[in-house]
């Protein structure tokens, strides 16, 4: 949310003295020597890889090697509010997607930045820490697609196994775990803008709920992977506790460039580069690829597993002809922004990044720096394109207690790649205001893209083309979600702070009537961003499904042996919400599967969901508020036109 990196260096000596919680980082698990052979080699120490390393090394007779291309996290990455400041730093792969044909019009060269963690803990070190498991229908749908063993009742025990929920109001309601490795907690200090969010939801008919409980349709202040006010990455949660296990070796700055196979298509080892030297290490049982939805398909294709025509074009010998890199999809959002007449009720960088707040954070784990990336509210909503009678929302509102100009253009503008024209015409006039933003995240996108090799060099970033908003249904539902957001920001809960919709015209949308469906569609296509959830590029499915790359046990198909993919790339369809918690669950479940055990399914703790109320959503009120906003916006723009004349 804010650029703490510019303030921190000057006071580092003081922080070193004040950091009383430093025992979380007082040791490391990495080393500089390794063996020639292991039982398991895990490629990638991110959200999934760290979990696998921990759980597999619980078997003392197994020797595990974890290879991570990056280094370790640091004191800055621990600060929840500093999430955006971590992008485009050495712990970020800093990918860019290809120029988009149907979106990104307000981004430089129509290209979006895609941050991915290049560090132990992976993207759990860069993300916004929101803990959301998804909707039970997501996992039941995976089973309907042929993925036996992945129903909600079968995966719920693995969510609970990881979790150490520290919010006593929900920790013991049957849906949560206490005592696991992963700390989940509510932010200790919420701004007035954040506190107003559940009230705004109630006004529109959305209940205030446990977002990981029996009902998902509702609004709430979110929980995050935060421990004593600081980020709890999978590195901190799962790797640091393994420091005394002699059978787990962790190598940082070790970039795997190829998987090695024998003549029977069995994975026998990997080749990796470390400090400009190339090494080979061998495996007795399995290689497990956990590089994420970009790096995993890239490594598979470089190693000969992928679409035959694509690999032939690069002269790569084919091990297996599989649709690696297809099915790429992601959660994306446009922005709906509001200025406030009230002062001191939201997050403004020049106000919150102060010496007293920094001292408060490092000494007591309190204050505005503990806010998870500036996200203070989550609302799962249903547009007119969703089933009103079912608890399966199609959008997720992220409340950000600020906007892109809240850091005076220092950080958000840069990491999101916003054009000068868009920033100066639309955002710059609001730098002196308190503000907040509603970001409607599309949960079930229909657009699909792909990842392909750019060259045979593992150091060339792959071609990433998500093809955002190319399916016509996506923009239709997004426009309706924007209307709900506009109504939400103008409810009495926010009107008491003097909330007003940004009244500037989006560059390129001048020809459309303000807030018409065409205007909102133009606004969405101009400013669209990823919420950092790419999935699907090594799709899980039955062997007889031509779209499948791995089977339901995440073993690579095509006659390949001794090779699994375990990360978000295996999702056949993206989950309804932030993806970090489901990826951790996937690794927990597969770790047990490899061990030959499985936790028994849990009956749905909430009983018969069909009998549960999902609130009485007041669509009449929503569209009445929106129409009032539309008239107010039109009056303001007409007045501006007369002044300009």
Q: Point out the residues that are catalytic.
A: 533
Question: 392: exposed, middle or buried (C-beta count within 10 Å: 0-12, 13-18, 19+)?
Answer: buried
Strand 500-501 and strand 182-184: the pairing is unpaired
Q: Is 119 annotated as a binding residue?
A: yes
Q: Is 573 annotated as a binding residue?
A: no
Instruction: Report the distance separating Cα 568 and Cα 571, nearest Å.
Output: 6
What letters, b where the CB count within 10 A reaches 16 and e where it falls short, cover 31-58? Answer: eeebeeebbbbbbbbbbbbbbbbbbbbe
Instruction: Report the distance separating Cα 360 and Cα 443, nearest Å.
Output: 36
Instruction: Of 75, 73, 72, give the one whose Cα is nearest residue 16.
Output: 75
- Token reading at 150: 């992945």
Instruction: Report the distance separating Cα 240 and Cα 591, nearest Å.
Output: 18
Tell the residue number behind the tokens 């061990």, with chain if given: 595
Would you say 404 and 3 are in contact if contact means Cβ atoms under 8 Å apart? no
Instruction: List, in order, residues 6 or more apart from 483 with CB less than 8 Å away.
Output: 520, 622, 623, 626
Range list of H helices, 314-364: 349-352, 355-364
Q: Is 535 annotated as a binding residue?
A: no
Residue 78 sits at the vertex; the CA angle it makes with 335 and 464, to the nearest 5 degrees, is: 50
Instruction: Report the distance separating Cα 469 and Cα 575, nearest Å.
Output: 18
User: Taken in order 420, 422, 423, 424, is the CA torsion positive or negative?
Assistant: positive
Instruction: Report the distance separating Cα 158 and Cα 163, nearest Å.
Output: 9
Instruction: Report the distance separating Cα 630 and Cα 518, nearest Å.
Output: 13
Cα dist. 588→28, 51, 583, 593 in Å? 22, 7, 9, 9
Q: Is 127 annotated as a binding residue?
A: yes
Q: Is 478 annotated as a binding residue?
A: no
Radius of gyration of the chain (CA): 24
Instruction: Report the distance separating Cα 402 and Cα 5, nearest Å.
Output: 19
H or E element, residue 154: helix 152-162
Instruction: Report the distance separating Cα 86 and Cα 4, nearest Å.
Output: 10
Q: Is 540 annotated as a binding residue?
A: no
- Would you tell me the crossing angle of helices 580-595 and 152-162 to the nearest 10 degrees? 100
Instruction: Of 448, 370, 434, 450, give the one whose Cα is nearest residue 81.
Output: 370
Instruction: Report the distance separating Cα 599 and Cα 428, nearest Å.
Output: 53
Instruction: State the DSSP string of 203-251.
Output: HTTPPB--TTSS--SEEEPPPBSEETTEE--HIIIIIGGGTT-TTEEEE
Q: Is 256 annotated as a binding residue?
A: yes
Q: Which residues are annotated as a binding site?
A: 119, 127-130, 256, 568
Q: Which residues are annotated as a binding site for FAD?
A: 119, 127-130, 256, 568
């Amino acid at each position: 949310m804010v650029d703490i990196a510019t303030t921190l260096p000057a006071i580092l000596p003081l922080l070193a003295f004040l950091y009383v919680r430093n025992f979380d980082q007082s040791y490391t698990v990495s080393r500089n020597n390794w063996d020639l052979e292991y039982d398991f080699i895990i490629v990638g120490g991110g959200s999934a890889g760290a979990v696998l390393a921990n759980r597999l090394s619980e078997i003392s007779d197994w020797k595990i090697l974890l290879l991570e291309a990056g280094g370790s996290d640091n004191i800055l990455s621990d600060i929840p509010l500093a999430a955006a400041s971590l992008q485009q730093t050495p712990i970020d792969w800093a990918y860019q997607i290809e120029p988009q044909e149907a979106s990104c019009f307000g981004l430089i060269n129509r290209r979006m930045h895609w941050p991915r963690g290049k560090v132990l803990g992976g993207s759990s070190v860069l993300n916004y820490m929101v803990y959301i498991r998804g909707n039970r229908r997501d996992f039941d749908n995976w089973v309907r697609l042929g993925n036996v063993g992945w129903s909600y009742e079968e995966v719920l025990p693995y969510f609970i196994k990881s979790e150490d929920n520290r919010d006593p109001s929900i920790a013991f309601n049957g849906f949560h775990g206490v005592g696991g490795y992963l700390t989940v907690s509510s932010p200790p200090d919420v701004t007035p803008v954040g506190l107003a969010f559940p009230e705004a939801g109630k006004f529109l008919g959305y209940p205030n709920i446990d977002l990981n409980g029996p009902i998902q349709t509702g609004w709430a202040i979110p929980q995050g992977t935060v421990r004593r006010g600081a980020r709890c990455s999978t590195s901190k949660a799962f790797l640091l506790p393994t420091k005394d296990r002699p059978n787990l070796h962790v190598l940082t700055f070790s970039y795997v460039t190829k998987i090695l196979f024998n003549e029977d298509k069995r994975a026998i080892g990997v080749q990796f580069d470390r400090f400009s030297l190339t090494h080979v290490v061998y495996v007795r049982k399995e290689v497990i690829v956990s590089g994420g939805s970009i790096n995993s398909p890239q490594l598979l294709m470089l190693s000969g597993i992928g679409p035959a025509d694509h690999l032939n074009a690069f002269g790569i010998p084919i091990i297996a002809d599989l649709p690696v890199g297809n099915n790429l999809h992601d959660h994306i959002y446009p922005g709906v922004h509001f200025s406030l007449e009230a002062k001191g009720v939201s997050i403004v960088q020049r106000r919150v990044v102060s010496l007293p707040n920094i001292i408060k954070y490092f000494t007591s784990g309190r204050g505005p720096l503990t806010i998870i990336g500036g996200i203070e509210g989550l609302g799962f909503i249903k547009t007119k394109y969703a089933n009103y009678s079912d608890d399966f929302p199609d959008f997720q509102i992220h409340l950000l207690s600020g906007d892109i100009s809240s850091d005076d253009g220092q950080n958000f503008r840069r990491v999101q790649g916003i054009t000068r024209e868009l920033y100066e015409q639309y955002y710059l006039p609001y730098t002196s205001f308190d503000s907040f933003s509603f970001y409607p995240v599309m949960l079930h996108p229909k657009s699909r893209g792909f990842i392909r090799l750019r060259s045979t060099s593992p150091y060339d970033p792959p071609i990433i083309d998500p093809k955002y908003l190319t399916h016509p249904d996506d923009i239709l539902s997004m426009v309706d979600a924007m209307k709900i957001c506009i109504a939400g920001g103008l409810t009495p809960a926010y009107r008491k702070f003097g909330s007003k919709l940004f009244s500037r015209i989006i560059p390129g949308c001048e020809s459309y009537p303000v807030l018409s469906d065409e205007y909102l569609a133009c606004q969405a296509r101009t400013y669209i961003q990823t919420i950092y959830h790419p999935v699907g590029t090594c799709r899980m499915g039955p062997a007889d499904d031509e779209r499948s790359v791995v089977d339901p046990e995440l073993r690579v198909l095509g006659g390949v042996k001794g090779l699994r993919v375990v990360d978000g790339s295996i999702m056949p369809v993206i989950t309804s919400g932030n993806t970090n918690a489901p990826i951790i669950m996937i690794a927990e479940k597969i770790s047990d599967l490899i061990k030959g055990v499985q936790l028994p399914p849990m009956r749905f703790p909430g009983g018969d969901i069909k009998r549960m109320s999902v609130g009485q959503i007041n669509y009449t009120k929503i569209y009445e508020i929106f129409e009032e906003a539309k008239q107010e916006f039109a009056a303001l723009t007409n007045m501006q036109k007369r002044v300009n004349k």
